[in-house]
């Protein structure tokens, strides 16, 4: 059995796949384009081709867990937010239910519970993420929802904070998020939890203790 990584070629996805390979955790990277395969070959990670705006279900064969860290990104329009961040996530959740996937770790975003409180340009994105998270909570699949703040490319400190009020700063290293995904997969206690994530001083190893 293996873990399907949806959004594997993204910033978090690539780091997560590398860390998983270093730990000998079997993962399969879902890619949109065969030209993206070389990196995953170089780190010894299996790949499958598929697209959230088309067919991807075959990539789930023999998978028991899913990490969802796909996103349409800031350079596309609201149409892609709808098709990828919302409907793509819902389709992955529904396919996971149909295939009896055991656990989904969803990379959501901080602040999505109250979309209208966000910057106007971000509100539709927060709505998409909020509704995808809601669909996941209503699903039959065990899940962990991680809600990072502003993502940075700093190296992992290995420490995070989950209480927004307990400090200043609104960002988190993508590598720290990848370590939190690994911790979520490792710990049964992570299931059913929705967790805000910022860089902080709590060791990620203790996140689910
Ligand atoms: N940026 C922030 O500050 C921030 C804050 C909180 C949460 N988040 C969330 O964090 C997550 C990951 O962030 P990131 O920086 O790693 O994102 P990223 O680098 O933009 O990666 C997104 C990945 O999603 C994939 N994708 C897009 N459309 C797809 C489709 N139709 N089918 C399959 N895959 C598709 C992309 O594929 P290609 O490589 O083929 O383009 C890419 O690999 C996203 O869900 C984002 O919303 C971001």
Between CA 184 and CA 20 the distance in angstroms is 13
Q: What is the pLDDT of residues 153-198, one digit of tens each?
A: 999 999 999 998 888 899 999 999 999 999 999 999 999 999 999 9
Q: What is the pLDDT of residues 91-133, one digit of tens each?
A: 999 999 999 999 999 999 999 999 999 999 999 999 999 999 9
Task: Please tell me if the CB atom of residue 10 comes closer than 6 angstroms to any atom of ligand 1.
Answer: yes
Task: Please tell me if the CB atom of residue 71 comes closer than 6 angstroms to any atom of ligand 1.
Answer: yes
Q: What is the pLDDT of residues 26-75, one digit of tens each?
A: 999 999 999 999 999 999 999 999 999 999 999 999 999 999 999 999 89
pTM (two decimals): 0.98
Task: Please tell me if the CB atom of residue 200 comes closer than 6 angstroms to any atom of ligand 1.
Answer: no
First to last CA, the chain: 26
**Does domain 2-206 sit in CATH 3.40.50.10470?**
no
Q: Which of 19, 29, 38, 73 to mutate to test the pocket of ligand 1 (most atoms within 8 A of CB)?
A: 73
Contact 184, 144 (CB under 8 A): yes
Residue 125 annotated among the catalytic residues of the structure: yes
Sequence ranges of the domains in the chain: 2-206
């Amino acid at each position: 059995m293996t873990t399907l990584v949806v959004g594997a070629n993204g910033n978090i996805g690539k780091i997560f796949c590398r860390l998983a390979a270093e730990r000998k955790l079997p993962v399969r990277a879902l890619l949109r384009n065969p030209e993206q395969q070389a990196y995953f070959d170089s780190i010894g990670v299996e790949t499958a081709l598929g697209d959230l705006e088309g067919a991807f279900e075959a990539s789930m064969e023999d998978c028991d867990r899913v990490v969802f860290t796909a996103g349409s990104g800031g350079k596309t329009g609201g149409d892609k937010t709808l098709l990828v961040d919302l409907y793509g996530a819902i389709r992955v959740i529904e396919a996971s239910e149909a295939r009896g996937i055991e656990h989904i770790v969803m990379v959501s975003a901080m602040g999505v519970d109250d979309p209208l409180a966000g910057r106007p340009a971000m509100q539709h994105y927060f709505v998409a993420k909020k509704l995808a998270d809601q669909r996941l909570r209503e699903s039959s699949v065990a899940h962990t929802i991680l809600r990072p703040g502003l993502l940075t490319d700093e190296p992992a400190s290995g420490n995070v904070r989950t209480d927004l009020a307990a400090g200043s700063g609104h960002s988190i290293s993508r590598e720290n998020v990848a370590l939190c995904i690994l911790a979520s997969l490792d710990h049964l206690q992570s299931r059913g939890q929705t967790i805000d994530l910022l860089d902080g001083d709590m060791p990620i190893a203790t996140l689910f203790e």
